[in-house]
Amino acid sequence: MSNQIKVVPYSFTSPSKDDTNNDYDRRRRDIAWAPSTCCTCYSSFCGGLILLILLIMAITIPLLIIIATSTTSTTTIITTTSTTSTSTVTTTAITCSPACSSQQTCVLDVCVGVGYLSCTLTWSRIGDGDIVVSTPNGNTINYMNMGPSIYTDQGELDADCTNGTGPENVFWSSGGPVPPTGTYYVCFEPYFFNPNITSADPISVTIDIKRSNNTNLSATQNYTSTIRNNYACDANSMTLLISFTYP
């Protein structure tokens, strides 16, 4: 018996050329390739992470803007300070020589009567101005009817200025009868001024009323033309300076 060596055939199984489970083989054969499960999970993770970041940014950015606005907001308070200035004016009384009596006052270096009632007229430039006072009884006091008499209701013109700025004064002495009760009218008659009263050479006239109850009055009129009323004085006179009641 001859010695024979039994050779067991060696066989192996080669990878199938149609192994569709191999990614490389599928790409080589132009077969549609689906990514592996690991790749798909990684992509999903990245996409989710990006969405999460965008969501966080969408929430936090408006909050940061609000916080920044609140932080940089500045409240401005404006304080206004008012300053009050007080000035003191010292007036030196003009004294007359000789001195006035207790029933008189000094006006432009002239002593004029006060009494129960006085009406004192002055004006702004040198000339001859006349005061006219009408009483409640209709009597008129002026340089042509100076009083005191029944025709002036005991009122008296005691100062008549013919070349200056006044004063002219009508008064009721406290040693005589009380002035009539009612309405009085005071007018200004421009007897003579040089230059004449015009808009280029106007005149300012002031009347001061003093009453025994210390309710004094004052009025000023500016004249730009010569107005005369023949020494009549009432509510309709163009020369009217002031009307008042006594007492």
Mean pLDDT score across all residues of the chain: 82
Q: Region 53-61: what's the mean pLDDT?
A: 80
Q: Is residue 25 part of a domain?
A: no
For residue 54, the model assigns a pLDDT of 81
Distances in Å between the Cα of 52 and the Cα atoms of 6, 49, 57, 204, 209 are 70, 5, 9, 92, 96
The reply to whether 69 falls in a domain is no
Task: Report d(CA 245, CA 119) in Å as an integer.
Answer: 12
Percent of the chain topping pLDDT 70? 71
Tell me the average pLDDT across 157-171. Answer: 98
pLDDT band for position 5 (cuts 50, 70, 90): low
Please indicate, yes or no, if residue 53 is contained in any of the structural domains.
no
Average pLDDT over residues 153-182: 98
Would you say 197 and 138 are in contact if contact means Cβ atoms under 8 Å apart?
Answer: no
- pLDDT bucket at 83, cuts 50 / 70 / 90: very low
Domain membership of residue 164 (yes or no) is: yes
Q: Do 115 and 126 contact (CB within 8 A), yes or no?
A: no
Query: 112 is in which domain, residue-wise?
Result: 104-246
Rounded (10°) CA dihedral 148, 151, 154, 158: -40
* Residues 159, 213 contacting (CB under 8 angstroms): no
Residues 200 and 205: their CA atoms lie apart, in Å, by 16
63: in domain: no
Q: How many CB atoms lie within 10 A of CB 96?
A: 15
> Does 2 have pLDDT greater than 80?
no
Query: Does the structure show a pLDDT above 50 at 125?
Result: yes
Residue 78 has pLDDT above 80, yes or no: no
Q: How far, in Å, CA of 157 to CA of 150, rounded?
A: 14
CATH number at residue 173: 2.60.60
- pLDDT of 44 reads 73
52 inside domain: no
Evaluate whether residue 233 is within a structural domain.
Answer: yes
What token pair was written down for 62? 């408006």
Q: What is the pTM of this model?
A: 0.63
CB 133 within 8 A of CB 156: no
Per the DSSP assignment, residues forming a β-bridge with 222 are 204
What's the structural domain count of the chain? 1
Written as six digits, the tokens of 139 are 């009597």
At residue 94, the pLDDT reads 64
Does some domain include residue 180?
yes
Point out which residues pair with 105 in neighbouring strands.
112
Residue 164's beta-bridge partner residues? 127
Q: How far apart are CA 17 and CA 28, in angstroms?
A: 11
| Residue 68: per-residue pLDDT | 62
Note the pLDDT tens digit of each residue in 104-116.
999 999 999 999 9
